[in-house]
Amino acid sequence: MNKGSSFQQGLSFGLRLGVEMLVATMVGTLIGYGLDKFFGTEPWLLVLFLLLGGAAGCMNVYRAAMAAQQEEEECDPETNDNNDNDKTSNDHPQSDRKL
């Protein structure tokens, strides 16, 4: 995601998340509709798979957002420097100290 302006990157990422959510919900709905027609259980499987598709869409959006956040943290040198400073403050274990 290093190409283009930050506005274009944000717009592209937001569109991707929206499409992922929509497609997962639609696939779940279509599967539920087809199973309802096949088994004759009119609204129940449609509702169940609509909810499952929505949950799958939420999980896809969450995973994509976490991956983007991790990628952003890896590219940001200031964030990495702060984490290194915290590790160097405890170089000496307390068990080596004499009381």
Domain chopping of the chain, boundaries: 25-76
| Structure confidence by residue, pLDDT tens digits, 42-99 | 899 999 999 999 999 999 999 999 999 998 888 876 755 555 555 555 555 565 555 5
The model's pTM is 0.69
6 burial via Cβ count (<10 Å: 0-12, 13-18, 19+):
exposed
